[in-house]
Amino acid sequence: MENMNWNYPTPIWFGINRIKEVQIACDNLRIKNPLIVTDPGILQTSIITKVINSLSNETKVYSDVQGNPTGKNVTNGVDFFNKGNHDGVIAVGGGSGMDVGKGIAFMAGQSRPIWDFEDIGDYWTRANSDKIYPIIAIPTTAGTGSETGRAGVFTNEKTHEKKIIFHPKMMPGIVILDPDLTIELPPSLTAFTGMDVLAHCLEAYSSNFFHPLSQGIALEGISIVKKYLVRAFKDGKDIEARSNMLCGSSMGSTAFQKGLGAIHSLSHPVGAIYNSHHGLTNAVFMPYVLVRNREAIEEKINAVARYLDLENSTFEGFMKWILDLRKELKIPHTLKELINDNSRLEEMSKMALNDPSTGGNPISLTQNDFFDLYKNSYDGKLL
């Protein structure tokens, strides 16, 4: 066993209508002039109105956020934050809105470019920790779990690569999990984000790194997906299902402190180049990576199959559950259905090999292995 440092998340306020306590959260974190950060879609809903109405004073909203956010989304937001003399961020939305909000709070007081803080070694120590502003995170989807993470994922527009920017103080100071905010999420996004929860928990569970705390959370997160994702997909007003999936999302991000793997390594280049939805892309790659990793994870998968009380508690039984789940959620089986372009598989293979998630995969993979995974998933060749 190697030496490990473990960090576990932040205060979480869970429950219906907890959105009304945003001002209390600001007071707790001594935020007097918050900037609300969200995406254009959420801006058009009643959610932002609820946030604003819960605050004692008027504030501004920044919504220049793409589905796969870029470094420019952050740098433009930093200018907006500093011009408004804001002293904290309320990040509202899915992973994109929350990541950009966290990125703005992190970068507003820094003098170096954002890419200098990529999650490599101790790059995070380059930051001026005294100039990082407090963050309140309010997720409106049950997927990325960015609300319990110490990093954000941003696309470098020049290289078309997704980069993970990390600092311990990017962890939100308070998380508000209000299931009522997820009620209007359409079935397709419920499916995509829910599969992201599964990808986080499954890859964390399968990683070889020693982290028993995350292992237990990952296992229960997979169980929550099995019990509640299809229910939330079929009936968006099922508040029990919505509540559990929202908690499962936070659990997935907590769990993947243990590590991720090739599902995410393959997804990040596709998202950066083709702007595909991250959770959907993870869902497409999931069975192909499971088969490739089988030699290292079969015993673990058998154990999770027993925990889920699957009719067939074997690797094959678990694979059948994954494939049946994807079909029920209307997830495409092949990468071709997602991007319909196989001209950049070799380029993406190199990017996948260099992705930070690759180090957590249960087996070592080469660039050729990633090319084969891309090709097989593009053609639908599972075995």
**What is the predicted pLDDT for the residue at 343?**
97
In angstroms, the Cα distances linking 247 to 13, 25, 260, 370 are 11, 19, 19, 32
Angle at 196 between CA 35 and CA 140, to 5 degrees: 30
**What is the predicted pLDDT for the residue at 8?**
82
**What is the predicted pLDDT for the residue at 1?**
60
Q: Please, are residues 276 and 339 in contact by the beta-carbon 8 Å criterion?
A: yes
Q: What is the DSSP string of 81-138?
A: HHHTT--EEEEEESHHHHHHHHHHHHHTT-SS-GGGGBSSTTGGGGS-GGGPPPEEEE
Domain boundaries, given as residue ranges, for the chain: 12-182, 187-379
Looking at CATH, the fold of the domain delimited by 12-182 is given as Rossmann fold (3.40.50)
In angstroms, the Cα distances linking 198 to 145, 223, 337, 342 are 11, 9, 21, 27
| Size of the chain in residues | 383
Extract long-range pairs of 226-230: CB within 8 Å, 24+ residues apart. Answer: 226/308, 226/321, 229/190, 229/191, 229/194, 229/195, 229/197, 229/198, 229/325, 229/329, 230/325, 230/328, 230/329
Strands 88-93 and 34-37: parallel
In the chain, where does DSSP find H-type helix? 22-28, 40-43, 46-53, 71-83, 95-107, 187-206, 212-234, 239-255, 262-274, 278-292, 294-307, 315-328, 336-339, 345-353, 367-379
How far apart CA 189 and CA 142 sit, in angstroms, is 9
Name the token pair of 176: 């508000």
Q: Please, are residues 261 and 359 in contact by the beta-carbon 8 Å criterion?
A: no
- pLDDT, tens digit only, all 383 positions of the chain: 677 777 788 999 999 999 999 999 999 999 999 999 999 999 999 999 999 999 999 999 999 999 899 999 999 999 999 999 999 999 999 999 999 999 999 999 999 999 999 999 999 999 999 999 999 999 999 999 999 999 999 999 998 889 999 999 999 999 999 999 999 999 999 999 999 999 999 999 999 999 999 999 999 999 999 999 999 999 999 999 999 999 999 999 999 999 999 999 999 999 999 999 999 999 999 999 999 999 999 999 999 999 999 999 999 999 999 999 999 999 999 999 999 999 999 999 999 999 999 999 999 999 999 999 999 999 999 97
Angle at 36 between CA 81 and CA 23, to 5 degrees: 115
* Amino acid sitting at position 75: T
Two domains, one topology: 12-182 and 187-379? no
Strands 151-156 and 135-139: unpaired
In angstroms, the Cα distances linking 298 to 287, 291, 293, 313 are 13, 9, 8, 11
In angstroms, the Cα distances linking 253 to 31, 118, 131, 160, 315 are 25, 18, 25, 24, 25
How far apart CA 316 and CA 63 sit, in angstroms, is 44
**What is the predicted pLDDT for the residue at 59?**
94
Architecture of domain 187-379: Up-down Bundle (1.20)
CA-nearest of 150, 101, 142 to 124 is 150
Residue 177, phi then psi, degrees to nearest 5: -100, 100
